[in-house]
Amino acid sequence: MSRYELRFSGAGGQGLITAGIIMAKAASIYEGKQAVQSQSYGPEARGGASKSEVIISDGPIDYPKVTACDALLAMTQEACNKYSHDLKDGGVLLVDSDLVTTLPKGNFKTVAFPIINTAKNEVGREIVANIVALGAMVALTGQVSRENAEKAVLSSVPEAFLELNKKAFSMGYEKALAAKI
């Protein structure tokens, strides 16, 4: 039985809990796998530390928290410093290259690109940085198909923002593949 553990981490207000919920939805509803999502954040609603964890498995999930992280998104230096030690050998670390400038050493693959800047300047709205990051995590982890993840995104956002989020997801997916090489 395979168990895959993801953590989306950064600052409150960056939409990381939403990204985790959408990833779990993609895995459970659209891929037919087992998935659980949990979250925690500091007492500050915005700006404090925030994380969302997703466990994906093809069988029952006996423990709903990350124990050895397969894939970590770190949107801030603080999150990277705090959580990178949980990455397992061969795992993947995705960082926003503008905000995470000191990269940890370890037996894992690091992928870096300016996630927030991509949302702001290439997609057109900074608020979709979480969906850019989600697209990248889908590309890097291979746990859910691009098509099913996109369906989960589009079923989770307001109708007026479907195109914006579709563009954000695609941009993150493509940038991660390009940065992975």
CB 126 within 8 A of CB 87: no
* CA–CA gap between residue 15 and residue 24 (Å, rounded): 15
pLDDT exceeds cutoff 90 at 167? yes
What is the DSSP secondary structure assignment for residue 138, as one 8-state letter?
H
* Beta bridge mates, 112: 95
- Which of the four pLDDT bands, split at 50, 70 and 90, describes residue 29? very high
pLDDT band at 43 (very low <50, low <70, confident <90, very high): low
Give yes or no for residue 106 having a pLDDT over 70. yes
pLDDT band at 12 (very low <50, low <70, confident <90, very high): confident
- What DSSP string describes 94-135? EEETTT--SPPPSSSEEEEE-HHHIIIIIIS-GGGHHHHHHH
Phi, psi at 157, each rounded to 5°: -115, 155
> Is residue 76 classed as helix, strand or coil in its secondary structure?
coil
Share of the chain above pLDDT 90, in %: 91
Prediction pTM value: 0.95
Domains and CATH numbers, the chain: 3-180 (3.40.920.10)
Helix (H, G, I), strand (E, B) or coil at 74: strand
In this predicted structure, what is the pLDDT of residue 179? 85
Average pLDDT for the chain:
94
Token pair listed for 136: 């990248």
pLDDT tens per residue, range 108-135:
999 999 999 999 999 999 999 999 999 9
What is the separation, in whole angstroms, between the first and last Cα of the chain?
29
